[in-house]
Each structure stands twice: as structure tokens, then as C-alpha cells.
Structure 1
């Protein structure tokens, strides 16, 4: 029987759907924009998958929204090792939980959040292990719930996280990365290696984010040609340098890390939230996105503004350079809506040039 420490950052990912590109220092603004917590449903999904595979697992967790509520909803009877210090949870609460787990000798720490939470967990665990002078390193695994998920310590989906926790038999060292959210909101990615953690070895883990190489000019021309000919069609243009080339070809400087909306030669919205995108959709809509290099995610990493409701009302065009596709192998989706994810999965044509397309599998 495995003993698992479970800690949830209940505000992780709240800024994504409302266009804030992160929640650090932006919780109140996210709430004012109508943001809904994303972490709870993801925590439950992971724990339910764990309960299905390992119903006798011993769960240690923090009180209330930091894990206890969701463990009980998933069918476990958790041992509560502490409570958050106030009504609003903080990084200090996460770090205290991790120290309690380390002192209790858990077999793995399962956390729900984004890169910031991964850093908190890793640093607190390093401190606890150094203080105990133990030579054994406790592995960690992340349930992806943040806007930014650049680290290589996350499972590809919440359900995959639960399965990996139940079944893993060995671990390996993986990178924990984070970026400067303020710079990110201004369109600049400043990624930094924050630590190294032991993580279960499994196929359902994502890689660190890598920058895709190769030219994208020809595919940008192809998408722009189609857009100009599609009178009345609304184009929802995702983040990243590849789709950025499409925006430039259409004649405007888009938000490099945001989602922009274009129709009939007019920019309808820059750096739009999910609600703003929905408000600007028409009868015919096309979402243009590019997978994250090294990971293959088309939806669910850095483009939460393109919500399931937007995807349901749109055609999806995936664009990528050939080197980027060679580096990812398969494409992945994690929209938070199982029905939408299922509809997106399967074989899909990806535009790699002005006219050329390649078949890629979405898993």
C-alpha cells in the first residue's frame, strides 16, 4: 500500500480563461473578471483515477480546498496533516504541507497546480530532505492545472497522473522550470531552471517546453490567403511565434502570448479573454493554433482563453513547421472538457506549408 501526499493549489489556472496568463499576484483581478477555479475538478479527476487503480492507497493531505475535500469526493478517507493558515491559501501553505509529507515518509507527493506550485513543492522538499539528512529522495508528480506548465514533472492529463501514481515502479530526474509572469504578460518568455526532482518514469509525462525551429513563412502565407478569401469568417489566432507569423502576414502585430480575433481585414480583439472571443464569434469560425514544441499540446497549455465553448463553435486548423512536428511525435489536447477532447482526438491534417499538410495523430 502506497502512502501519497496530496496538495492542491486551489487558485491555480484561474487567470487563463480570462486572459491574465497566470494567477501570480492576480487572484482578485481574476475573480473580478469572473474566473472560476480550475484546480478542484482536476484534483478530483486525478484522485478518482488513482482510486480506481489503487483504492487502498493511504492519502495524506492538507485541510479543506488544499486536498481534503477532493480526496473525500474521490472516495478516499484522507489523513489531514495540517490546515491552511488563513482563508486564502498561499505558497507558504503548500510548503508547510510538503514538509509534513516529508516528515511522514510518503512514497510520492502528488500536487495540483502549475509551474509556480512545482517550484514551491520542489524547494520545500529539498529543504526537508536536507534537514533530515536522508539519502532517499521522495518523487513528485504534477497534475496540470496552471496556465503555465513548462516543467517536465507533470502528467499529460489529470487522469494520467492518477494512473502513474498507482502503477509506477521507478523514477528519474526531471527539470522544474518557471517563467516571469509579468514579462510573460508583456509578451516575453523568460524561462529559468528552478530545480531538479525525482519523477515517476512513464509514457504519460510531458517534456520540458522547447522552441520549435524551421521556417513558417510559407504556411503563414497559406493561412492568410485562406483567411482573406473566407469572407465573413472569424479567425481566432492563438499564441506563439508560428501563429504570430500568420498575424504578421495578415498585416497586424498580434499579442505574441495572447489570443487575437480577426475578420475581413479587421482586428476585432487583441489579447482576448474567453468571453471576448465568444462575443466576437460569427456564423463561421476558424481557430488557428500551433503545438508547443517538445510537448505537442495543441490546447490546454498557454491558450486556455480558447475555451471548450469556443472550440465547439469553430473549425480547428493546426499549423507547425516540419521540425517541430518531428520533435513532438504526436499531438495532445487537455481542454478540461472530456467531450471536446474526445472530438479533437484522432488523425488530423496539420498545415506545414502554403499548400502542404501532414497527417498527425491527436491523443
Structure 2
């Protein structure tokens, strides 16, 4: 049976409530009470409904996890989606703490993506607890939208999520989260502040240095992939990087001028070779008590990431490292050659293979990622 896509859904019911009344925001219980007393309408739920229209044909492929009442349950129930309430908010008027608690509850369910409706304050609250651990898509519903995590319209948000659910190639970008001081804003001064970044799927973009199809283009793309991984190594000098088999991983090692075992597994830290051609048991010994990431590429004609040519990456090691620390590297043309087939994990451990099912970021260039799915074996 095919695994359902696990969608986290979250609504800030009061987002944008002060806009029509020229209150310039909805932060603060007093502002929300003033807006409601003046007859303001809550619109964020309606905007989420628009976004979800694109997902109605995919109902049978979705399991939605959401928060109670106006924070999501009301909307998904009305539209007839299958859902579970992951967070029960305790009061009729929700606060930023409820947004954060709900986001944490969604993360605990290991959702594949979080779709949320709100404004910059909502994005800021979610960013503080989610960071870049899960892709997000924002449905614009606030008075002020300075953050880069929102789709241009609610309908566009639903369209992008539908692409992800269907397993279509989408780019995975770093979206900036910004918010302004509403007190200053009401005084006529716009003071926007950067609060972080979250991963946002977008329609596929290609960044080509030269025309496609030539060897020079392939070399440039591989060099860009290597530059991205090397930057991660520089940012995390104490982390061990397990370098798997394959020519794409080999190109990263060549870029660092390190000896590579093309059909084996090597260990690198701070761009220095720690050990070569390791066995499964030796890898476990090295990585047992240290932060570790695994660098993989597609092996074999069917898109295998585990179980073909890299059996040294044992289920024990992969469970130790965790899915969030697996770095898949591949060119976009290599992904397109799969013709929509998902990646495959055939580790020999059914529970591990099931755990890995779902979308995973694939590094396809320098600061250029694609969201692609690992399928059920």
C-alpha cells in the first residue's frame, strides 16, 4: 500500500484581521479585540480553503495533521479531508504560543511539509521552532508580508503543494523570514528585521552556466554541487561526512583534492580525509559519538540511494545519523532521467526503508536544491 503524504496544516485565525480597519497589523490581544469589536472578519481560514482547492483531487494521497478548531480542523473537516488533530488549543483566542506549540506538534508527527496561513508574525513564530528541518509553504493572509516563505497567492500555494504531493520536481529554496515592529509601523516607520530562513518549495528553476547537453555543462553542475557540500563542511568543521559511492560523490572528493574510493565509502572532516574504504563496522565505530552526515548519490538505473554499491552504509549507521542528516546529491538531468519514479531505499531493513519514505532535499547545485521523494520498496 502506497504511503500517504503527511501534510502539516496550521492557520493563524487572527492573521490580517486588522488590515481592513487600518490597524496596520494584528499583533497583540488588544488589537485583535479592537478589530473584532469593530466587526472585522477573520479571513485566513478562507484563504487556506482557496489553497486547499488544488489538493482536493489528491485527497486519497494525503494524511493531514492539524490543530483544533479555527487553527485548521474546521477548514479540513468542511472540505472532507482525512485528518488528525495533533494540537488542541486551550483558549478561544489563540496566541503566538499556540502557533509555536502547534508547529512543534506537527514536527512530532514527522510531517513531510507544513502549509500555514498567516503573516510575518506567524512565519516568525514557526521559524523559531521549525527552522530548516521541514519544508514549509505560506498562504499569505497577514496585513504585512515581507517574508520570502509565502506563495504569491493562496491559489499558488496550493498549486506548489500539489506538485510536491504528486512527486513532481520542485526547487527547494531558502526563504527569508522577516517581521516589522508594528508599533513603529503605526507611527509611520518601517523597521524590518531578519529572523531566519526556512526551506520553501517552488516551481522548478534551472540555473545553467552554459547550454544543456554538453560535457562542460555537466562539469560545471558537478562543481557547483561540490561547492555546496564543501561549504557545509566549512560551516561544520567538527562533523564527520561519510562519502558514499558514485561519480557525483567522487567529483566532490576531487574538488577537495582528496583520494576517493569510487566503489567504497570514505570519511571526511573539515575537508580532510579521516579514513578510506571503510567497512560497515568501522564506520559505526568512527561515527558512534560524533555529529555525522552521509553524502549519497543515485546508484543503479532505478534511482537507488541505499542498497546498491554502498552496503557499507548499514541500517545501524543510517538510523544513528537520521534522515535529516542524509545529503543526497545529483544533477537535475539525472533526476529527470527517472521519469517521475521515486528514489529507492533497499537497505535490507524494512523499518528503516519505511522511515525514509517521503520527500527529501536533493542538492543539485550551489545553494540549489530539489525536493524529491523516496518511495516504498
Normalised by the size of structure 2, how large is the TM-score?
0.50
Structure 1: 5+ residue stretches without partners: 130-136, 205-363
Contact conserved, 1:110 with 1:142, CA < 8 A, in 2? yes
The secondary structure found in structure 2 opposite 1:201 is: strand
**Deviation digits for residues 121-168 of structure 1 (CA, Å, limit 9, x no counterpart):** 111113xx8xxxxxxx21111000000011010011111111111103
Contact 1:13 1:146 in 2 (8 A): yes
> In the alignment, which residue of structure 1 is the partner of 2:92?
87
Residues 10 and 39 of structure 1 are in contact (CA less than 8 Å); yes or no, is this contact kept in structure 2? yes
Segments of structure 2 that go 5 or more residues without pairing to the other structure are 165-169, 206-377
| 2:357 alignment counterpart | none
- For residues 199 and 111 of structure 2, the distance between their equivalents in structure 1, rounded to whole angstroms, comes to 14
Runs of 4+ in 1 over 4 A off after TM superposition: none
CA–CA distance in 2 between the matches of 1:144 and 1:41?
A: 11
Which of 18, 22, 26 is matched with 1:23 structurally? 26
Shift of 1:94: 0.9
Query: Contact 1:42 / 1:143 at 8 angstroms: preserved in 2?
Result: yes
Pick aligned residue for 2:81 from 76, 83, 87: 76
Counterpart position of 1:172: 173
Give 1:202 deviation, angstroms. Answer: 2.4
**1:25-44 to 2 correspondence within 5 Å?**
25=28, 26-44=31-49
Query: What secondary structure is seen at the aligned counterpart in 2 of 1:30?
Result: helix
1:8 — aligned with what? Answer: 11
Do 2:171 and 2:204's aligned partners in 1 also have CA atoms closer than 8 Å? no
Larger Cα-atom Rg: 2
Aligned partners of 2:204, 2:94: CA distance in 1, in Å? Answer: 32
Match of residue 278 from structure 1? none
CA 1:203–1:178 in structure 2 vs 1: closer, same or farther (change >3 Å)? farther
Q: Which residue of 2 aligns with 1:146?
A: 142
**In structure 2, C-alpha distance between the alignment counterparts of 1:203 and 1:113, rounded to whole Å:** 25
Q: Which of 112, 120, 125 does residue 115 from structure 1 map onto?
A: 120
From the superposition, tell whether residues 112 and 162 of structure 1 become closer, same or farther in structure 2 (CA, over 3 Å).
same
Aligned-pair Cα RMSD in Å:
1.7
Instruction: Please state how far the C-alpha of 1:73 moved relative to its aligned partner.
Output: 1.6
Which residue number corresponds to residue 303 of structure 1? none
- Could you say what secondary structure the match of 1:99 adopts? helix
**Alignment counterpart, residue 56 of structure 1, candidates 50, 58, 61:** 61
Other-structure match for 1:181 = 182
Whole-angstrom distance in 2 between the partners of 1:54 and 1:10: 24
Q: Which moved more, 1:141-150 or 1:42-51?
A: 42-51
Q: Distance in 1 between matches of 2:25 and 2:204?
A: 27
